[in-house]
Structure 1
């Protein structure tokens, strides 16, 4: 393994949720790619195990066993042993397998050829984790981006293609998809790399997305035929009931917390059903609509990261978005979103649906994260671990908030 001149590993104080952390790690040691998922040690330190597609990185190499930290040495030795098909752990994403970058580059070259463009250098890892990989693609005519989804989200390219067909102005410009592998090649999005979002992002998103969802109500059969999952009230509640009995994260709750969550569950289910049955039709839902999944430069708005795209209750997206904005922006966004639906469905008690939707979204998101946890390999469980338990802790309060609002 690679160490500096003193025999120490390079260190980089990068935040776990910093999308630029991987690029900084790779450049700091002259490496090209990660070869294993980021591991977290018992003391909270993160270990990035990286490699080179070529040769010539600075520093010198030593055996992992010579490291003074036994836990760190075990992580590195395990990563080396797992390279290759024979040692690859179950549920490990493809992008940690040798040769994956070569396959992606070959596909990009093929799909670019008819367009008259060409790749001008190796693809550059930007973010690779348990759920997805995003790589930068240098090309003549401008940089492109390629996203790959893990097995659990392998339908994302088909979702992108269908949403782009129905709502081309609201999603990234797709260059090509590889549905079997779960790859999407797309044009860059203006505004996504800005240090600060343009003013009024939440409000503009709420207006446009409400209108788009309303337009897609009539297209639900097409969405389902294209492969989007229906996550309706029955599917959501059935999965929620199961996780209350079976989720591994129940072990993270105290006996009192678990009793409180289960005691609130029946009421939560009744209120979630009421939300669905109030007269708002199911339609296209993003499933994880927050300000981190939108690019807005003051003119063009693009919604990305469609791993959770489905057919579901539209208001879950609205309240999910509101939670990611500051209170003033959230209130304006919700008001604008509600106005679209009030105009279209004047007979529906939109205010009541808005009161119910945060609880329904909590139930929905708890199911989402339970499914993600089941699809994630154990070494990467720390990335999103604990979300199901956290949501169950919030459940009694969310139920009480709805009941209080009705008084």
Structure 2
């Protein structure tokens, strides 16, 4: 299912010009913008920079009807429909979601890249990031990534991980400390849907990094990496509005303190957790594998990552890889019972995911909330299911 897109156009001052006729694009993911920009150019002869989501249909993402606000820098020859944006001035609006915002970030990136032969292509924009590909001679050379304040730890973390495993992370060419980063291009293919053998390679790549940071948690925290070690109060706060509507959630929250204590007793040390370690966030080339998108990274239990990495594998293959991972941890932390920890932490991982999504909702503007509104109750329900396995 693709998207039916309506672009509401504004000029550089933010004055609304009107809406283009709706058009269809194949990719259903609301945050993916490259095909929207291309369709506006080829179908309507309009060059646009997409700023943010305005509205979406009743269905949760992906797909369906969506409308975006987009800036133009030249006169528009296509017919436009009048559009009243109201008086929406959210204090939570991202700096790249306002007229002139993307252009300012591109000027920053290009000045640091120090080249005058670069063409910028918008790839993604939503409440969690704005991403531009920077090409020279038709070949990608770098990427501009801008993230909100709650992900601003990503660039300093990449530099910290590069000290231990430089081949495993993108090179940070520049960062402004406020969410903008200029990253060297990483060649290769994102490995969505990869098989168990590839997931095992990723696990082997990342395990030494996690062992490295078991004794350096203070360095991670000093770099701004969020501390997501057990926070029963936060999990309880997120679950509270749903305890009467998500069947079994009340019972899970009642037994949660005992479950957390049992996980602690397994002796698995806290360390760096990527937070979203699925194969699609790993790019592979002949040179090896590079792990991308570290915004969800935190200090936490390493079992979170192996569960995410094996989430889409057949049950037997997932169990085998978790068993191998547990053997690695028994060598790194003698006496620990990593396999039991991973089994016990499954529902906690889902509760943690619900809390992360609630954090997003608490920090983004109203029009962007459809991206995540369904995620909190879905993850809470998944936590109950995981506890019953």
Please report the TM-score for the alignment, with normalisation by the length of structure 2.
0.84
The size of the alignment, in residue pairs, is 363
Residue 27 (structure 1) aligned with residue 16 (structure 2): no
Shift of 1:384: 1.5
In structure 1, which of residues 263, 277, 295 is the aligned counterpart of residue 251 of structure 2? 263
After superposition, residues 3-402 of structure 1 pair within 5 angstroms as 9-17=21-29, 21-30=32-41, 31-42=47-58, 44-55=64-75, 60-64=78-82, 76-78=83-85, 88-113=89-114, 118-139=115-136, 142-180=140-178, 182-192=179-189, 200-233=197-230, 235=231, 237-245=232-240, 247=241, 250=242, 255=244, 257-258=245-246, 260-297=248-285, 299-327=287-315, 329-401=317-389
Q: 1:321 to 1:197 in 2, by over 3 A?
A: closer
Shift of 1:322: 0.9
Q: 1:163 to 1:285 in 2, by over 3 A?
A: same
> Relative to structure 2, which stretch is displaced further, 38-47 or 338-347?
38-47
Q: Is the 8 A contact 1:217 1:281 kept in 2?
A: yes
> Helix, strand or coil for the counterpart of 2:124?
strand
RMSD of aligned alpha carbons: 2.7
Structure 2 residue aligned with 1:71? none
Q: List gaps (5 residues or longer) in structure 2.
A: 1-7, 10-18, 42-46
Q: 1:258 to 1:359 in 2, by over 3 A?
A: closer
**Whose helix fraction is larger, Structure 1's or Structure 2's?**
1
Q: Is the 8 A contact 1:200 1:329 kept in 2?
A: no
Shift of 1:142: 4.5
Q: Deviations over 1:72-99 (max 9, x none)?
A: xxxx521xx56xxxx5322121111111
Q: Deviations over 1:262-293 (max 9, x none)?
A: 12212133213321332111111111211221
Shift of 1:327: 4.1
Shift of 1:52: 2.0
Q: List gaps (5 residues or longer) in structure 1.
A: 65-75, 402-407
**Whose strand fraction is larger, Structure 1's or Structure 2's?**
2
Please report the TM-score for the alignment, with normalisation by the length of structure 1.
0.81
Q: Is the 8 A contact 2:170 2:292 kept in 1?
A: yes
